Amino acid sequence: MDFLKKIRLLSVITSMLFLGLVGCSSMSFVGMYKMSQMNPLTTDPAQIKVAIKTDQTIEVKDGSAKINFGYKSDDGTINIEDTFLVQISKNDRGARVLFDDIKATDRITVLSLSEEDAKKFQQNQKIILAHKAQDKEGTGSLGIGLDDFCLPTSLPERDLLIDVYLQTDTKDGYFKFLSGIDIKEQAEKMEEQGEELNCENNVAA
């Protein structure tokens, strides 16, 4: 199996692992297909955006979405293991049209790579492409994960679900990536493990 086949497969697998998909949360068929067709060596990282719909009580911070990119060459000359903390994009109000049934209690947040991280991502692409141009092989992985959400101490009675749209190319626009991620369920699991999603507690620590 060549690098691209491996990296395309792992892009879906690692995304699922990082997101901890459980219960009623789901990755859309469109999302799975789009990720399987994505070529991480030619995708322009500056065009990657993540649009998230959450309840207004959930604070989405810079770094709440992460892009993990790795590559190890068979000859040992390349070992890339980078995690890019996606930052909040302040100038993308058009993402609201992506989501159905937006409630008054909902919040839309758009995240993208910083200019510096996009350049580093491109540098990685060039290194790998140059290596492959010499008929040398390796294995890689690409994952998109969500974590580091902040919850209030007292959760509201209503459902706290997250829907996610992803863009990898401005020409194609956004596609539905994930829907129905149950934050309450995730919070309960973290509490059982002695962890918390409360921002004040995280800062105090």
Are the C-beta atoms of residues 113 and 124 closer than 8 Å to each other?
no
pLDDT at 145 > cutoff 80: no
pLDDT on residue 200: 56
From CA 15, how far away is CA 32, in angstroms rounded?
Answer: 10
The set of residues, in sequence order, having a beta carbon less than 8 Å from that of 55 and lying 6+ positions away, is: 105, 106, 107, 156, 158, 159, 160, 161, 183
pLDDT of residue 23: 35
| Higher-pLDDT residue of 147, 173 | 173
- DSSP character at residue 51: E
Say if CB 4 and CB 150 are below 8 A apart. no
Whole-prediction pTM value?
A: 0.75
Q: Which pLDDT value is given to residue 131? A: 92
Reported as a single tens digit per residue, the pLDDT across 45-98 is 999 998 888 888 887 778 777 888 889 899 999 999 999 988 887 666 677 788
The string of pLDDT tens digits covering residues 124-140 is 999 999 998 999 988 88
Instruction: Assess contact for 178 and 26: CB atoms under 8 A.
Output: yes
The 10s digit of each residue's pLDDT in 5-52 is 333 333 333 443 333 333 334 667 777 777 777 788 888 999 999 888
Please state the rounded mean pLDDT for residues 171-184: 83
Residue 151 has pLDDT above 80, yes or no: no
pLDDT band at residue 194 using 50, 70 and 90 as cut-offs? low
